[in-house]
Amino acid sequence: MKVTIVGAGNVGATCADVISYRGIASEVVLLDIKEGFAEGKALDIMQCATNTGFNTKVSGVTNDYSKTAGSDVVVITSGIPRKPGMTREELIGINAGIVKTVAENVLKYSPNTIIVVVSNPMDTMTYLALKATGLPKNRIIGMGGALDSSRFRTYLSLALDKPANDISAMVIGGHGDTTMIPLTRLASYNGIPVTEFLSEEVLQKVAADTMVGGATLTGLLGTSAWYAPGASVAFLVDSILNDQKKMIACSVFVEGEYGQNDICIGVPCIIGKNGVEEILDIKLNDQEKALFAKSADAVRGMNDALKSILV
């Protein structure tokens, strides 16, 4: 199985490292526009092989899409990262042209690939990739919900003082500081609702911390985070390549699901060899439905900025 990662920055390189270390794919290609950058990252990763025991072939190329031919999955991380004080929404004008060009180029050499979008603002960039390429909706997936859910589980684990891997929790809605919806009502610790252990006040703080999880790290690091985003992409790619059919919150195109149409937004999906194999209908309560509708309106508003690009 072959995976191409376009953009060899922190997130892309971390994704390549995790995929290689875990043996998720037999071949990983890193592509970047900066001369020698992807080649250097790939060589650095390959030099870990004898010490960590992986056999994945990792290579890097400078803007040569022919080397990506035959990719089963293409991950798009291209674009500028957030700076402190910058919202994901402010990146639209800069990153939209980049994502559109990348999606068109990879399809020239991998017409049957599944595309995973990481570039921000992620929901809008996923929608752009879908509309610009004309691919079936199951083959364009935005990664954000996997990352947001991971952060949610981390904050819950800190509040509970229990292992994050024993916690089941999901974030739906837009991948933005004000649009994501941590489903505290449905979160559980080894099958027991977390509401049995945590007060409403604590749960609200957990939800609030989750929503600004990315911004918090940007403020601390001076740029966007990369370890958790890269690992979240690898987690999603693993479910695709190995047909694991995991339930993962992803930004996908909806046609009536959750009362929304013509946008890409985070909803629970079954992810397998065909990409998005099913959108699951979780019964939301009235408050959650209202929050989801508000989130969808915000995402739809950002999509309006793409009109000139999609013409």
Residues 6+ apart with CB under 8 A from 160: 167, 189, 194, 197, 198
One of 2, 41, 153, 175 is an active-site residue; which one?
Answer: 175
| 112 annotated to bind ligand | no
95 is in an annotated binding site: yes
Known binding residue 36? Answer is no
Q: Does 7 count as an annotated binding residue?
A: yes
Whether residue 145 is annotated as binding a ligand: the answer is no
175 is annotated as an active-site residue: yes
* 151 annotated among ligand-binding-site residues: yes
Rounded Cα gap, residues 37 and 29, in angstroms: 13
Residue 118 marked in a binding site: yes
Instruction: Say whether 194 counts as a known binding-site residue.
Output: no
Cα angle at 8 between 7 and 14, to 5 degrees?
115
Tell me if 10 is assigned to a ligand binding site: yes
CB 298 within 8 Å of CB 174: yes
Provide the annotated binding site. Answer: 7-12, 32, 82, 88, 95, 118-120, 151
Provide the annotated binding site for substrate. Answer: 82, 88, 120, 151
Instruction: List residues with catalytic annotation.
Output: 175
Provide the annotated binding site for NAD(+). Answer: 7-12, 32, 95, 118-120
